[in-house]
Each structure stands twice: as C-alpha cells, then as structure tokens.
A and B are shown apart, each in its own frame.
Chain A
C-alpha cells in the first residue's frame, strides 16, 4: 500500500460480523472503523484518505441502499461493497446499478472480501488522485486574470495570435505578452499541453469581474 493510509468503514448491525470483518482487515494491516447503523456512520466525520465502505444491505433504520443513495448524492463518492444475509437478487441488481463495486452473500470467503476491499481502495485512491490533479489544474485556471483567460480560450480553440488580436480588438503584441503569462501560470510547456490541461480541468467557472 502506498501513499496516505487508507480506511475501511464497516457498517453492519451484527456486532460479531462487523468485529470479525474489522479484525480480518486489521490482520492484513488495513485500518477499519465499525458502525452499527447508517446514521452512526453518516454522523461521524470521515478522514481525508482513500476509503471504502463494507455495508450490510439490511440495516435497522435507513437500509444499506438508502445509505448508498445518500452517498451518491453527496460530493464525495465512496466505493461500496455490499454484504447480505439473503441472496436477494432484485436488491443486489439495484445495488450494482447504483454503483456498488461488489455484492457478497454471507458467509463470504475471506479472500473475496479482502480482494474486493483492496480493489475498492485502489479505485478510490486513483479516483482521489485524478480529482486532486483536476483540482490543481482548476486552481491554475482560476489564477489567470480575465484577459489572460480570454486569450487562452481563443488560443486553445485553434486561433493564431493575429486572429486572437483581431477578435479581441487588441494589438498582437499584447496577445503575445498575455500568452506568455498564461503559459507560465498554467505551467504548460507547449500550446498542445495547454489545450490538454484545459480539457482535463473541465470547464471551471470563469471568474466574474
């Protein structure tokens, strides 16, 4: 395991199951935290680290599927491994459709659970890294002035300096100055790299002036 320490949240109303799962994970040096209900899990602040959720589909109060929906609506998604006492096909289909990474019927094999947890954590880590990179790019984009942003948008759309100058009604030399500032702030070695970065950052809101 590399990078920040990861954590697995185990939500199951059966104490021996959640303790057993926690112990199994800890024996493989995977940190785990247990909760008896969905509400208890939601009430607890989550550390900023790669994580996944081992979730019993049948919970008192809000069920596992309800919790999945609540998480899907929130900003931070979390890979979910469902565990269930019943081989309940309709619900497993529902869970998988809503993005569960795995669906295990109790009693499940230890290795199946461990593999699923490792996959889910790797997935979340990659997700987090991609998100972090995107956040960094967006931060660079928002560091541009409005005029630099105008120049960048036209350049990545394929216009030449002269065309940009005409379009914006400014001198070509001004375009060149602003272009140099954009390349520096965006840390883009070339125009092609810049285009790729803008693409990866998505369409961050343009700073209003």
Chain B
C-alpha cells in the first residue's frame, strides 16, 4: 500500500484515502495534522479501520453512507475542537473505497454570514425607509432593481426585471419626457442624476418618487453604470400639499375676515352720518311742509345734512389713507431675486396644480425701488390666478411663463414682468375689468387679488394690464420704473 497523497502535502486541504473495507490507505500532511490534533497517531492508523477517528463527529456516519451508496457527498460541519467550520467532501473511488477532502471554511462562512446579514439589513432598511435601489448599465441596457424597488412600482419582486422602455411606461405621462431628459442630460454630463416623478402602479395608484443616482466609471474612465436609489415620498408630498392647502385656506379666510371687519367698520362709520343725513332731510321736509313753513329750521336741517355728508366723506378719505399708508420702506431691489422668492412661495401650489414653470428672466436688468414683499405679493397673486385659470385645462400642458425684461415707462427705464398662462383666457370684458375690486370670474374668489395688485403697482408708480394670449391663455404684465441710479 504505497503512500501517494504525500505529494499533496502542500495543499491546505486534509486528504484521506480509505479502502473498500474502511481502512485508512493514505493521507497527506494536513490530514495527519488534523489527526494529531485530535490526539491520534497517524502513522499507526494507516491500514486500520479509521471511521471513528475522523472528525468532526458527523463524519463517520457520512463516510459509511458514501461507502455504501457510492454517491459523493459534501457537508459543512462546525468543528468544536477548533471552533471553526469544516467542509468535508466525500466521494467514492474506483477501487471501491472513498476519498475524503476536508477544508477549513471558517473564513468563507464568516464572509457569507456577513453578506447575508448585510443583505437582510439592507432589505429591512429599504423596506422601512421605502427606498429602492437600482443600477443601469448604458452599454447593455441592463437594469437591476432591489426588491423594494419592485414594491414601490407595485410590481412582483420575483418577476422579471423591467426594461428601460417598460419602466417609462410606469411613469406618469406628464413626467415621462422630463424624466427622460433629466437622465439623458445626466448621462451627457457624466454627472449626478436627480428627479422627482410620479409612478403609476398597475392598479392605478400614483406614488411620488424621488430618484437620485450617480455614475460609476471603470478604470479607463468610461461610464460603466448608474447606481441610484428611489424613495417613495408620497406621504411627504401629500402632507406638504395638505399643509400648503391649509395655509392657503387660512390666508384666504384671514383675507375674507379682514374684508368682513373692514366692511363692518365702514358700514358703522358711514351708517352714523347717513342716519343723521336722512333724519335731517326728513326734518327739512317736515319744516317746509307745514302750513306755514319754518324756513329757518329747514335751513338748519340742511346745514346739518351738509355737515354729516362731509363727515362721511372724511371717513372715506381716512379709510383710503389707511390703505395707502405703508410702514414698509422702499428699497433698491433686484426684480429677478424678487421673482424667484415669489415663485419659491408658490411652488407647492403650482406643484399641486401640476403647473410647469418656465423662467425667462433677463440678465442685466436695472434695479427698482420697491417694497419687496408688496411686489412679491403682486407676483404671487398673478401666479396663483394663472394657476387657477389653468385648473380646468386638461387637454394641454399647464404651462406658466414668468418673464422679466427691460422696458420703458414714460421715457424712463423700467422693468417689465410678465406672467403668461395657458389657461381658460380672458374675455374682452375681463381684460378691461380684471383689476376692478370685487370683479371675479371665479366662484370662490372675492375679486380683491388683482385689485390689490393694481393698488400696489400704482403705489410703485407702475402700470399693470392684462391681454389675451394666442393661441390660449392670458398674459398679465406690470411695469415699474427702474431705480434712479443717478441720485444714488
């Protein structure tokens, strides 16, 4: 019985050759080391029935099974003697015996376990945070999605990975081209990608999803893939929308309440002199209607009427002054900055109405002298109006253009702001009257927004007007003079 396995002493694995009668025929150095560690003498074991000497403990039974069944077997066992994992491969040999190969797989097991745990953590984290991850390889068009990504899209996690084209089909039609452009732009720039889109699930439910990705490059610097995440932000968006809706409602209620208070106070202030005028008028008629008219007393009554009418006039003048009175101080401000701040204010409202905004802000505009919050109020009013005018529009894009450009007003340099919408537009009558107080084409409107806007623009020595836009919608514009830089 020759020793052949010594040539395999160098391999880390422990090798045993066992003959058909269960006797140890040969072993290599690693196997000898194992036996020695277990307190055996390898030299004396050669030629003896060896089953019970093999470790870990399940091994003798496994070897007998292979011997009898003649089918190879691999098993992983925890070896308590070394505190590690041993992989044992047992296979039948042509001589009717078996060969056993044992390998320490503790490290592999550890890595596997780590990987498994990491995957479990990741899956949990994705599920809890409603975050999916994805990868896209531009060269092959291959898409990889995490389990949660499927769930966010309302798809079966065990189903086939969708193609780029079929993914687009799941995107809300209004967001599709935007998403495509954003992705193409990112790829062209080899830069990061970010987009917020709506996903339409197969059951029709719409989810708001924020997607972020960054490019990965190979060693040659070629773009190899995009790796990204998607987060389901529907609840957040809905909460935002509800919050902004509540705020808008509150603002509306506050406006109406103020109007109501103002109306009540005006009614009271004017009711007094009017009551006196009516009473004096009745008295004048009474004195003159007597059989011998008392002209002197009638004149007193008429004097009283005039006094009271003047008093009513004073009340109106005081109310007007109250409106005009402004504690805010005009400052030299940049129109584009004001416009951007105003647009930021109304962004949630515009998102709620699915209105796309295009900014066409001219560079190198002259500054204006203005009360920034007031001019922003005008812009907000105009933008909200425009967005409401587009609420009924479903057959075309709801697009809002906000434009600033240099202009002239009565021979002086000025800045013009235009708010264009693709809404229901204005009739010829509306164009003339939209800026009148209490004029409204809306059922729930007070008709004060544009009237207040006009007061503000006029307080800035500007002009505001509306025109019909072709082919549809309306354009509202205002011009305010540029700040007098010569005096500065």
Selecting from A12-20, A165-173, A201-209, the interface stretch reads A12-20
A73 close to B (CB within 8 Å): no
Hey, which chain A residues are within 8 Å of B285, CB to CB?
A: 27, 110
Contact A23 B304, CB 8 Å, known A110-B279, A114-B282: yes
B297 close to A (CB within 8 Å): yes
Minimum Cβ distance to chain A for residue B291 (Å): 11
Q: B286 contacts A17, CB within 8 Å?
A: no
Contact for B275 among A23, A27, A86, A106, CB less than 8 A: A106
A113 close to B (CB within 8 Å): yes
A151–B131 Cα gap in the complex (Å)?
106
Contact for A24 among B271, B283, B294, CB less than 8 A: B283
Hey, which chain B residues are within 8 Å of A85, CB to CB?
A: 267-268, 271-272
Contact for B277 among A20, A27, A86, A111, CB less than 8 A: A20
A113–B286 Cα gap in the complex (Å)?
13
Contact A27 B271, CB 8 Å, known A20-B304, A108-B278: no
Hey, which chain B residues are within 8 Å of A86, CB to CB?
A: 264, 267-268
Q: How large is the interface on A (under 10, 10 to 19, 20 to 34, 35 or more residues)?
A: 20 to 34
Q: A19 contacts B276, CB within 8 Å?
A: yes
Contact A20 B280, CB 8 Å, known A27-B297, A27-B301, A86-B268: yes
**Interface residue SS majority, chain A:** helix
Q: B287 contacts A106, CB within 8 Å?
A: no
A107 close to B (CB within 8 Å): yes
Q: A23 contacts B280, CB within 8 Å?
A: yes
Contact for A27 among B267, B276, B286, B308, CB less than 8 A: B286
Query: A23's closest neighbor in chain B, by CB?
Result: B283
Hey, which chain B residues are within 8 Å of A110, CB to CB?
A: 278-279, 281-283, 285
Query: A108's closest neighbor in chain B, by CB?
Result: B275
Interface mask (B253-289 → A, CB under 8 Å = 1, otherwise 0): 0000000000010011001111111111111111100
Hey, which chain B residues are within 8 Å of A23, CB to CB?
A: 279-280, 283, 297, 300-301, 304
Q: B304 contacts A109, CB within 8 Å?
A: no
Q: A83 contacts B275, CB within 8 Å?
A: yes
Query: B305's closest neighbor in chain A, by CB?
Result: A20
Interface mask (A107-142 → B, CB under 8 Å = 1, otherwise 0): 111110110000000000000000000000000000
Q: A109 contacts B278, CB within 8 Å?
A: yes
Query: B304's closest neighbor in chain A, by CB?
Result: A20
A86–B268 Cα gap in the complex (Å)?
6
Minimum Cβ distance to chain B for residue A162 (Å): 67
B147 close to A (CB within 8 Å): no
Minimum Cβ distance to chain B for residue A8 (Å): 12
Q: A27 contacts B281, CB within 8 Å?
A: no
**Interface residue SS majority, chain B:** helix
B275, B279, B283: residue with the most chain A Cβ atoms closer than 10 Å: B279
A76 close to B (CB within 8 Å): no
Interface positions of A from 15 to 33, Cβ below 8 Å from B:
16-17, 19-21, 23-24, 26-28
Hey, which chain B residues are within 8 Å of A83, CB to CB?
A: 275
B311 close to A (CB within 8 Å): yes
A110–B275 Cα gap in the complex (Å)?
9
Contact for A16 among B273, B281, B290, B294, CB less than 8 A: B273
Q: A107 contacts B268, CB within 8 Å?
A: no
Minimum Cβ distance to chain A for residue B313 (Å): 14
Minimum Cβ distance to chain A for residue B278 (Å): 5
Contact for B286 among A28, A105, A106, CB less than 8 A: A28
Hey, which chain B residues are within 8 Å of A27, CB to CB?
A: 282-287, 290, 294, 297-298, 301
Hey, which chain A residues are within 8 Å of B281, CB to CB?
A: 110
Contact A107 B275, CB 8 Å, known A24-B280, A86-B264: yes
Minimum Cβ distance to chain A for residue B302 (Å): 11
B307 close to A (CB within 8 Å): yes
Q: A106 contacts B297, CB within 8 Å?
A: no
Interface positions of B from 151 to 205, Cβ below 8 Å from A:
none
Q: B275 contacts A20, CB within 8 Å?
A: yes
Q: A16 contacts B282, CB within 8 Å?
A: no
Query: A30's closest neighbor in chain B, by CB?
Result: B286
Minimum Cβ distance to chain A for residue B146 (Å): 64
Hey, which chain A residues are within 8 Å of B298, CB to CB?
A: 27
Hey, which chain B residues are within 8 Å of A21, CB to CB?
A: 279
Interface mask (A69-111 → B, CB under 8 Å = 1, otherwise 0): 0000000000000010110000000000000000001111111
Q: B304 contacts A16, CB within 8 Å?
A: yes
Minimum Cβ distance to chain B for residue A51 (Å): 19
Hey, which chain B residues are within 8 Å of A105, CB to CB?
A: 271
Q: B268 contacts A24, CB within 8 Å?
A: no
Q: B271 contacts A106, CB within 8 Å?
A: yes
A21–B276 Cα gap in the complex (Å)?
7
Interface positions of B from 298 to 338, Cβ below 8 Å from A:
298, 300-301, 304, 307-308, 311
Contact for A17 among B267, B276, B294, CB less than 8 A: B276
A107–B279 Cα gap in the complex (Å)?
9
Hey, which chain A residues are within 8 Å of B282, CB to CB?
A: 24, 27, 110-111, 113-114
A105–B267 Cα gap in the complex (Å)?
11
Contact A16 B278, CB 8 Å, known A23-B304, A27-B287, A85-B271: no
Interface mask (A22-59 → B, CB under 8 Å = 1, otherwise 0): 01101110000000000000000000000000000000
Minimum Cβ distance to chain A for residue B449 (Å): 27
Can you list 8 A-B pairs, Cβ within 8 angstroms, ordered by A?
A17-B279, A20-B283, A21-B279, A23-B300, A24-B280, A26-B283, A106-B275, A111-B282
A-B pairs with lowest CB-CB distance, top 4: A27-B286, A110-B282, A20-B279, A107-B274
Binding site for A on B (CB under 8 A): 264, 267-268, 271-287, 290, 294, 297-298, 300-301, 304, 307-308, 311
**Further 12 A-B residue pairs, CB within 8 A, beyond A27-B297, A114-B282:** A16-B273, A16-B276, A17-B275, A20-B304, A23-B280, A23-B297, A24-B283, A27-B294, A105-B271, A106-B271, A110-B278, A113-B279
